[in-house]
Amino acid sequence: MTVLQIADRLRTEADAYLFVEELRWGDGEPVCPHCDGIGATYIRPSNGVSRKTRTGAMSERRVWRCLSCRKQFSVLTGTIFHGTKVPIRIWVLLIFEMCANKNGIAAREVERKYGVCPRTAWHIMHRIREAMKNDALVESMRGTIVADEAYIGGDPQNRHKSRRQRDEVMTPARPGVDVGRIKTEKTPVLSLINKSTGEVRSRVIPDVSGHTLRKVMTQQIDFAGSHLHTDSHRSYKGMGAEFLSHQTVDHRSGEYVRGDVSTNAAENYFSQLKRSLDGTHHHVSVEHLPRYLAEFDTQRMHRLVGQVTGRRLTYRRMTT
């Protein structure tokens, strides 16, 4: 579906509600967010189009009454859309853009295109990114898995000279190693890529030790049913024996591809990710980096809307 086709379908707010219901519930009956009961009665507005809210404003929100618990709800209840005052048409169009845009989209661009204030644009986008996160929502990865790490953040050499001198750490001189080393403020990220499906799962990690990498990979991969491709980083050696096979390429000796073994899929992903973060967002804080990673891992609008339940993200949570 193209943006023109979506815009043509969303001529009114009622159309937007119908579209979200189609994505979330498909051809099935509405599911009550209060009791998880299936089946509800649609409460038709008295004028057939809109209903008056508690503030006296008119809304085209589609409301249902659960046949089990008798409570009212809409397709927005208990989701990232819950309590929003922004038109659902803007939400749907923005979700489409974030899923389809290869390089991401900046909050300032959303402000200009959709006529919302900067704080609203920033909040909406983080709520959508929160829904994109696939923590505890998907099955373990199986197949041929490429694992690699990268560091996200500014280059320490670009900092002011006074800061570089202050943070410089003197290390014992060794052959071929500089005496002075500079602390890095970059954040390590581990990405796991399924070579057959192209699925990417990225996680912010505190360090790249074997213990940390194994903990993350255990949560995401079925070791006994997968083959592992990595570089020669020694942190992978201990867990490699638990996979069906573990094959590596040695970048230090100039080896990047050996048959079908390589980490090129991860290198290409990191290249695109870093260009997008630098060119679109310019700076991403460590606190919000996991959501930005989720944005670049997710590529399907249907999958995203299927994950909106229970993902409310208030502005207070994001700023405290």
Separation of alpha carbons 74 and 220, rounded Å: 33
Closest by CA position to 21, among listed 46, 2, 40: 40
Judgement on whether residues 13 and 113 belong to the same structural domain of the protein:
yes
Judgement on whether residues 62 and 164 belong to the same structural domain of the protein:
no
Separation of alpha carbons 95 and 114, rounded Å: 13
Judgement on whether residues 124 and 206 belong to the same structural domain of the protein:
no
Judgement on whether residues 154 and 291 belong to the same structural domain of the protein:
yes
Q: Span 285-296, mean pLDDT?
A: 82
pLDDT at 137 over 70: no
CB atoms closer than 10 angstroms to residue 287? 10
pTM, entire model: 0.66
Separation of alpha carbons 78 and 66, rounded Å: 15
CATH number at residue 293: 3.30.420.10
Judgement on whether residues 149 and 291 belong to the same structural domain of the protein:
yes
Convert the pLDDT of each residue in 232-281 to its tens digit.
999 999 899 999 999 999 998 999 999 999 999 999 989 888 888 888 88
Q: Note down the domain range covering 156.
A: 141-172+180-297
Separation of alpha carbons 146 and 11, rounded Å: 44
Q: What sign for the dihedral angle of Cα 104, 123, 54, 43?
A: positive
Judgement on whether residues 31 and 159 belong to the same structural domain of the protein:
no
pLDDT at 171: 39
Q: Which two tokens stand for residue 140?
A: 């373990």
Judgement on whether residues 113 and 255 belong to the same structural domain of the protein:
no
Per the structure, the count of domains in the chain is 2
Judgement on whether residues 151 and 292 belong to the same structural domain of the protein:
yes
Judgement on whether residues 122 and 20 belong to the same structural domain of the protein:
yes
Task: Output the average pLDDT for the chain.
Answer: 83
Judgement on whether residues 57 and 204 belong to the same structural domain of the protein:
no
Q: Span 40-52, mean pLDDT?
A: 85
Q: Going by C-beta distance under 8 Å and a sequence separation of 6 or more, which residues neighbour residue 251?
A: 231, 232
